[in-house]
């Protein structure tokens, strides 16, 4: 690995508390650029604006998504800001680079009925899987925490009365989030199910000192989705986070409160959920408002009237 990239990753880990997954993503993106620079007879430390622009154009020619291009440019910007701050470069080759235009995409979420069914199906799985999934799904939906935050929870993360949970978020920022009664009970049952001495983490992996991996947990979530009769492709831990925020907003919570609960550093990140509600209201109007119904023509008038009766 390029020594400048290695120094950048060490800084991200030591000074910003970046998670392992974040560091791996930065490493992959920066090493991809390093390989491109090397093939062009240059290197990351010597790259200029032309090389960065050519790299971004090459990503587009390869058919990679705008989201991938934007993520890699973001990684390069962070990298070169680090080099500038360390005095290893005198200019930023990304300063004039334009981020690829990203298509507008709304977060996917489940209905409240589907969430209830998913939790019930998870709890119904046999043995320890049911106990663990019941606690995990209840906690995810009650708090909106990220799956990485949940899996890293120590066993002692719950407050004494179990009404609050301390979550260590991105960048080492901590937040206290209240829990529902169902989540408190499920978490307590999970703790009590462990043999003595109990493991270090609330969601223990095969090793008593390591948490469950994201891959193993995702497999369990897909298993619960199948048991609930929900397409597994629609279900993930992050979908539960989106469901939490969307349902909170639908029930009258304000954006600032949702921002604090989700641990978003910027309110603009939280504002996407207002678009979710706008889209939902638009669908409701299109489905139920009489003026939104398509004109069916005089010859079909009687049939259309009959078929429309009894609709909400």
User: Rounded to the nearest 10 degrees, what angle do helices 112-123 and 237-250 cross at?
Assistant: 140
> Could you please report the per-residue DSSP string of 255-309?
HHHHHHHHT-SSHHHHTHHHHHHHHHHHHHHHHH-GGGSPP--GGGHHHHHHHHT
Q: Is 238 a catalytic residue?
A: yes
Under 8 Å between Cβ of 168 and 149: yes
| Active-site residue, selected from the candidate residues 81, 214, 238, 280 | 238
Q: Is 264 a catalytic residue?
A: yes
Under 8 Å between Cβ of 194 and 216: no
| Active-site residue, selected from the candidate residues 184, 201, 247, 264 | 264
Please name the residues in contact with 123: beta carbons below 8 A apart, sequence gap of 6 or more.
130, 131, 133, 134, 137, 186
| Active-site residue, selected from the candidate residues 26, 36, 141, 273 | 273
User: For residues 124 and 183, what is the distance between their CA atoms, to the nearest angstrom?
Assistant: 16
| Active-site residue, selected from the candidate residues 146, 184, 242, 247 | 146
Under 8 Å between Cβ of 169 and 19: no
Dihedral angle sign, alpha carbons of residues 287, 291, 292, 297: positive
Please name the residues in contact with 243: beta carbons below 8 A apart, sequence gap of 6 or more.
109, 110, 115, 141
Nearest Cα neighbor of 147 from 280, 40, 258, 21 is 21
| Active-site residue, selected from the candidate residues 81, 155, 170, 175 | 170
Please name the residues in contact with 66: beta carbons below 8 A apart, sequence gap of 6 or more.
100, 101, 102, 103
| Active-site residue, selected from the candidate residues 134, 241, 242, 247 | 241
Q: Is 146 a catalytic residue?
A: yes
Please list the active-site residues. 146, 170, 238, 241, 264, 273
């Amino acid at each position: 690995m390029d020594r400048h990239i290695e120094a950048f990753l060490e800084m991200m880990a030591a000074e910003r508390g970046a998670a392992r997954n974040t560091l791996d993503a930065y490493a992959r993106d920066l090493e991809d650029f390093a390989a491109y620079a090397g093939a062009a007879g240059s290197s990351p430390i010597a790259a200029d604006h032309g090389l960065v622009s050519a790299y971004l154009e090459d990503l587009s020619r390869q058919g990679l998504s705008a989201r991938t291009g934007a993520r890699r440019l973001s990684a390069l910007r962070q990298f070169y800001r680090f080099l500038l701050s360390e005095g290893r470069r005198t200019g930023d080759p990304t300063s004039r680079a334009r981020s690829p235009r990203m298509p507008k995409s709304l977060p996917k979420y489940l209905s409240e009925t589907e969430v209830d069914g998913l939790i019930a199906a998870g709890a119904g799985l046999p043995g320890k899987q049911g106990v663990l999934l019941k606690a995990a799904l209840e906690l995810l939906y009650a708090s909106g925490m990220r799956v990485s935050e949940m899996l890293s929870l120590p066993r002692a993360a719950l407050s004494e009365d179990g009404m609050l949970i301390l979550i260590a978020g991105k960048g080492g920022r901590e937040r206290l989030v209240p829990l529902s009664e169902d989540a408190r009970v499920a978490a307590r049952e999970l703790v009590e199910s462990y043999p003595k001495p109990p493991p270090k983490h609330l969601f223990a992996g095969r090793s008593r000192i390591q948490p469950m991996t994201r891959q193993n947990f995702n497999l369990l979530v897909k298993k619960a989705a199948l048991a609930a009769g929900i397409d597994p492709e629609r279900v993930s831990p992050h979908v539960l986070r989106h469901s939490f925020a969307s349902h909170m907003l639908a029930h009258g919570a304000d954006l600032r409160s949702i921002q604090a609960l989700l641990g978003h550093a910027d309110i603009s990140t939280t504002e996407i959920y207002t678009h979710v509600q706008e889209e939902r209201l638009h669908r409701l109007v299109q489905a139920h408002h009489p003026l939104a119904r398509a004109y069916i023509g005089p010859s079909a008038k009687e049939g259309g009237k009959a078929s429309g009766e009894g609709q909400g």
